[in-house]
Structure 1
Amino acid sequence: MPYGSLSLPTRIYLLAWDTGRNRITGAPDLHLAVRACALAELAQRRLVTDVDGIVTPVFGARTGEPALDGLLELIEESRPRTWRGWMTHKARDTRAAVRDQLVSEGYLRAERTRVFGIFPARRYELQRAGYVEVLHAEALAVLHGPVPVSEVPEGDAALVVCAATGKLRGVVPGKDRRRYSDRIDELTDRSGASAPGLPEVMRALRKALASAVSSAEAARSSSGGGGGG
């Protein structure tokens, strides 16, 4: 994608925005997709690895990006966890860090408001709709082709896999997940093409995200509640 300066978790957060409504839509489990993208980027940078199913960091390594480094620090300081464990543990913290970074870089604007006129809160508005529209078009091109999977950059492959598996319906609706399921499988392996063993890590990460999303959906179904990005 031409806008590669942003990390995977910041890009997937932006992909969840509906530029017409200027709000996040169709992404009840955005925090899980954001966490998956953060783990995917750390894995692609070889800053976390899989040791007998446990996510293992390179201690002391940092990227210079607040959201990624915050997750690295959390992994270092916490008890060992599997990919599934890290998909959900304090995942909303990563989403909040990504959102704050996008505010500081001018992609979002934060405004103070009050809920029911009483409780202080913040409202966020998208500032670079054109960027998001191009980002969305590029993601769809990765999913639909006709560019061969072997020519898709690994980061872009991971982004689309996480958007599809995380069920960001504004990017990959259910019909596209089914129609392009084989290509999504290929993109999963492509996202780990740079190093031996990395395709297996990306498949494990995708499986963990799918499991976490299914659990979240089941919880909402049983409680009758909704979700939010």
Structure 2
Amino acid sequence: MDDDLACLMYLLAYDDSVEGLYDRPRTRLLVRAATLVDLASRGRPGEDGGRDWKRLVRRHRRRTLTEVEDRLVAAGVVGVRAARGPFGTRRVTVTDRAALAAVRVRVSEALHGDVPVTELPVADAALLALAAAGGIRPVVSRRDRKTYRARIDACTDSLAALAPGLDKAVRTLPTTMIAGQGGMGGG
């Protein structure tokens, strides 16, 4: 699981205070974006050539989240209880607290460390860029976003080297999240 960006992103979006995801619709988009970054880093630019990253981020996001949860269950990192009632959602709890702590430390070091962004592992730069774009405050606080804006921007910019336009898709994630939740007519 160390190199599974989608699983690591999921763990970053986990909120200890509610023992679940901070925001499930937001996490769907972040996990899907992490999946696409992972594909691009492995030389596979996406399902249709990587031409429209924003559309690809929104596509299959529910299924992608469920698949990531299933991988985390299989790895023994999370436990899942079935939804109550026909409209409920799965209840997920992290059972491997060390895995949760490790990914948070990893991203914190990418943000606060003195290693140049160009020398950061691609996964760490991507996780930092996604956490900042996704507004995951326990990972990247508002103060951090202001203080380390140049570092976060450099991490986001580095995604363009993986696939043209990927950096722009990550930068527009906040708008995509609003649209994806129906706030701007998106679906």
Please give the residue correspondences for 1:38-187 in structure 2 after superposition, counting only pairs within 5 Å: 38-48=35-45, 55-56=48-49, 82-112=52-82, 114-115=84-85, 122-187=90-155
In 2 relative to 1, CA 82–124 (structure 1 residues): closer, same or farther, beyond 3 Å?
Answer: same
SS in 1 for 2:91: strand
What is the alpha-carbon distance in structure 1 between the residues aligned to residue 43 and residue 6 of structure 2? Answer: 16
SS in 2 for 1:48: coil
Say which is worse superposed, 172-181 or 32-41, in terms of deviation. Answer: 172-181
One-letter amino acid of the counterpart of residue 15, structure 1: L
What is the alpha-carbon distance in structure 1 between the residues aligned to residue 89 and residue 183 of structure 2? Answer: 26
Matched, 1:33 2:30: yes
The percent identity for this pair of structures is: 31
TM-score, scaled to structure 2: 0.83
Which of 209, 212, 218 is the equivalent residue of 2:176?
Answer: 212
Give 1:192 deviation, angstroms. Answer: 5.1
Query: Quick check: which one's strand share is greater?
Result: 1
One-letter amino acid of the counterpart of residue 187, structure 1: C
What is the alpha-carbon distance in structure 2 between the residues aligned to residue 173 and residue 86 of structure 1? Answer: 27
What is the alpha-carbon distance in structure 2 between the residues aligned to residue 84 and residue 177 of structure 1? Answer: 23
SS in 1 for 2:35: helix
In 2 relative to 1, CA 185–55 (structure 1 residues): closer, same or farther, beyond 3 Å?
Answer: farther
Partner of 2:8: 11
Highest CA radius of gyration, 1 or 2? Answer: 1
One-letter amino acid of the counterpart of residue 211, structure 1: T
One-letter amino acid of the counterpart of residue 8, structure 1: L
Alpha-carbon displacement from aligned partner over 1:98-125 (angstroms, at most 9, x marks no partner):
011111111111224634xx87864222
How large is the Cα RMSD of the aligned pairs?
Answer: 2.9
Alpha-carbon displacement from aligned partner over 1:187-225 (angstroms, at most 9, x marks no partner):
1233455xxxx36443233234243124347719x9xxx
In 2 relative to 1, CA 210–153 (structure 1 residues): closer, same or farther, beyond 3 Å?
Answer: same
In 2 relative to 1, CA 20–202 (structure 1 residues): closer, same or farther, beyond 3 Å?
Answer: same
Divergent runs of 4+, >4 A: 118-121
> Which ranges of structure 2 fall in alignment gaps of 5 or more residues?
none
Relative CO higher for 1 or 2, CA cutoff 8 Å, sep ≥ 6? 1
SS in 2 for 1:29: helix
What is the alpha-carbon distance in structure 1 between the residues aligned to residue 172 and residue 23 of structure 2? Answer: 20
